[in-house]
């Protein structure tokens, strides 16, 4: 294997890092012409300041050999190693280090300092730079340029699904709307549809549940919009076109409730008909409970799990049916099992927001009961049964039973209009 061939493998890892929102650096370790280990930069995703590509590759190679001494090995990395990585490479007794682009700010192989040339150290590692330097440097420049010119910045601990991923989504013609100044979201961008006239007797708000997104309501939105109604459909943060935090722990009931409540308030919505699908009914009840004066009706779509209560495990009931969301997300197949009438293109549309495992933290979180545990003050609110909602609020509550109703009942819009419009 030539140096250029090995560096191209490292570049593949750097592209994986970029796709995950990390600084695009990749590394591979080769011994006797065979790749022992390959790794991408991952300090953000792993919350680990040592998770540079070189360190991760060293760890993987040491496990492969059963020895921390990596004699007769060559490490290829797309960016000149920093002092931390240079020290680790010397400690591992790596014979040779080959890097691509120089790092004038932190390079420890000659650019800022040269750890490998320190004569007082007891190991000598050969160093060669500038292998595919132009390609390695261009990847880094393009990555940082995109961040500098981005008028809608993305947090370092989040991912944003590229718009190109939604290019083949059918029957979804509405222009995107975004908010990134919601206090609870702390800079994460929330996407929503806002269709129909802004002045309307009712504002219909459609709330999806995992793993779906606002695409779930496309037929209902078209029906209500055609009837002259204002229809809004937000994507939960972590789903659809909204930003996707990399950490599962943020996906708590209270957090999603607060983000959506702030979204409703920011748009000054009143006379709301809140349509909550599946296990988002807990969120729907919480939103109505927090500001009952804003809501005219709460429509619950789907079969109740037990009693209709506000549950901190509001999304667990359905998503836990498929452990694939934790071991290997296959949203399209899961959707196809729930709604066999859908075409392959429609099933793929449900998977569009999740082009990589890094985008799927929300799915993994909402398949875990532990991740959705409530705070003590929220738990004190239960039970909040449907009969209590009717007794204390003026909000009308309707239940439409059935599986995946927005897809399986194309007459849903007509039924809702008949029940709720004058």
The pLDDT tens digits for 31-46 are 999 999 999 999 987 8
User: Who's near 57: CB < 8 A, 6+ residues apart?
Assistant: 27, 28, 29, 37, 38, 39, 75, 77
Cβ atoms 301, 325 nearer than 8 A: no
* 284, 276 contact by CB (below 8 A): yes
Averaged pLDDT score across all residues of the chain? 86
pLDDT of residue 326: 61
> What tens digit of pLDDT does each residue of 52-109 get?
999 999 999 999 999 999 999 999 999 999 999 999 999 999 999 999 999 999 999 9
The Cα 408–Cα 341 span in angstroms is 8
Please tell me if the domain spanning 3-146 has the same topology as the one spanning 158-420.
Answer: no
Alpha-carbon span 51 to 64, nearest angstrom: 18
Higher pLDDT, 58 or 396: 58
SS3 of residue 183 by DSSP: helix
Per DSSP (E only), the strands in 164-250 are 177-179, 190-195, 203-207, 230-234, 244-245
Active-site residue, 54 included: yes
Residue bearing tokens 């003590």: 376
Residues 242-286: tens digit of each pLDDT:
999 998 889 999 999 999 999 999 999 999 999 999 888 889 999
Cα–Cα dist 56/77, whole Å? 12
What CATH fold (topology level) applies to the domain 3-146? Cytidine Deaminase; domain 2 (3.40.140)
- In terms of pLDDT, which residue wins out, 328 or 217? 217
Whether residue 328 has pLDDT greater than 90: no
Please state, in angstroms and rounded to a whole number, the distance separating the CA atoms of residues 396 and 297: 4
Domain extent listing, the chain: 3-146, 158-420
From its phi and psi, is residue 238 left (phi > 0), alpha (psi between -120 and 50) or beta? left
**Residue listed under structure tokens 């609020």:** 393
Dihedral (CA of 281, 287, 293, 296) sign: negative
Q: What is the assigned CATH class of domain 158-420?
A: alpha beta
- The DSSP call for residue 114 is B
Q: What is the pLDDT of residue 323?
A: 52
**Cα–Cα nearest to 11, from 36, 31, 39, 33:** 39
Contact between 243 and 159 (Cβ < 8 Å)? yes
- Dihedral sign (CA 49, 55, 57, 61): negative
Q: Phi then psi for 414, rounded to 5 degrees?
A: -60, -40
Q: How many Å apart are CA 352 and CA 31, to the nearest integer? A: 39
Catalytic residue, chosen from 54, 225, 310, 313, is: 54
Phi and psi torsions of 100, nearest 5°: -95, -85
Residue 111, pLDDT above cutoff 60: yes
Q: How far apart are CA 64 and CA 137, in angstroms?
A: 30
Is-contact 292 318, C-beta < 8 A? no
pLDDT at 337: 85
pLDDT tens digits, one per residue of 138-188:
999 998 887 766 667 888 899 999 988 999 999 999 999 999 999 999 999
**Predicted pLDDT at 320:** 47
Q: What would you report as the CA-atom Rg of the chain, rounded to the nearest whole angstrom?
A: 26
The secondary structure of residue 14, as a DSSP letter, is H
| Rounded-to-integer distance, Cα 139 and Cα 130, Å | 14
Judged against a pLDDT cut of 70, whether residue 378 lies above it is answered with no
pTM here is 0.64
Token match 């071991």: residue? 327
- Around Cβ 209, how many Cβ atoms within 10 Å? 26
Q: Which residues pair with residue 274 across a beta bridge? A: 205, 298
Mean pLDDT of the 351-371 span: 78
């Amino acid at each position: 294997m030539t140096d250029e061939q090995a560096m191209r493998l490292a570049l593949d890892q750097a592209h994986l890092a970029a796709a995950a929102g990390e600084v695009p650096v990749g590394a591979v370790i080769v011994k006797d012409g065979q790749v022992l280990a390959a790794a991408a930069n991952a300090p953000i995703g792993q919350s680990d300041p040592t998770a540079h590509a070189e360190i991760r590759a060293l760890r993987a190679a040491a496990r492969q050999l059963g020895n921390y001494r990596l004699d007769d090995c060559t490490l290829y990395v797309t960016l000149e190693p920093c002092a931390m990585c240079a020290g680790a490479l010397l400690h591992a007794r790596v014979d040779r280090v080959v890097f691509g682009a120089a790092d004038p700010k932190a390079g420890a192989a000659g650019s800022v300092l040269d750890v490998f040339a320190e004569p007082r150290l007891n190991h000598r590692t050969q160093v060669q730079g500038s292998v595919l330097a132009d390609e390695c440097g261009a990847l880094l420049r393009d990555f940082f340029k995109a961040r500098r010119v981005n008028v809608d910045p993305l947090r370092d601990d989040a991912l944003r699904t590229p718009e190109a991923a939604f290019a083949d989504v059918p029957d979804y013609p509405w222009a995107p709307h975004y908010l990134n100044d919601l206090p609870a979201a702390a800079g994460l961008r929330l996407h929503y549809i806002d269709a129909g006239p802004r002045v309307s007797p009712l504002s219909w708000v459609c709330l999806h549940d995992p793993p779906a997104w606002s695409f779930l309501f496309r037929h209902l939105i078209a029906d209500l919009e055609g009837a002259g109604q204002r229809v809004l459909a937000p994507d939960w943060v972590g789903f659809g076109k909204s930003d996707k935090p990399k950490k599962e722990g943020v996906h708590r009931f209270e957090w999603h409730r607060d983000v959506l409540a702030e979204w409703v308030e920011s748009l000054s919505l009143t006379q709301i008909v809140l349509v909550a699908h599946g296990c988002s009914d807990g969120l729907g009840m919480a939103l109505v409970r927090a500001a009952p004066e804003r809501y005219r009706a709460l429509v619950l779509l789907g079969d109740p799990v037990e009693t209709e209560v506000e549950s901190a495990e509001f999304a667990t009931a359905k998503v836990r049916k498929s452990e694939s969301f934790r071991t290997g997300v296959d949203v399209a197949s899961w959707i196809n099992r729930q709604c066999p009438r859908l075409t392959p293109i429609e099933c793929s549309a449900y998977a569009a927001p999740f082009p990589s495992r890094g985008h799927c933290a929300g799915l993994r979180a909402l398949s875990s009961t532990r991740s959705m545990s409530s705070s003590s003050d929220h738990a004190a609110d239960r039970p909040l049964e449907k009969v209590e909602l009717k007794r204390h609020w003026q909000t009308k509550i309707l239940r439409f039973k059935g599986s995946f109703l927005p897809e399986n009942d194309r007459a849903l819009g007509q039924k809702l209009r008949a029940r709720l419009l004058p």
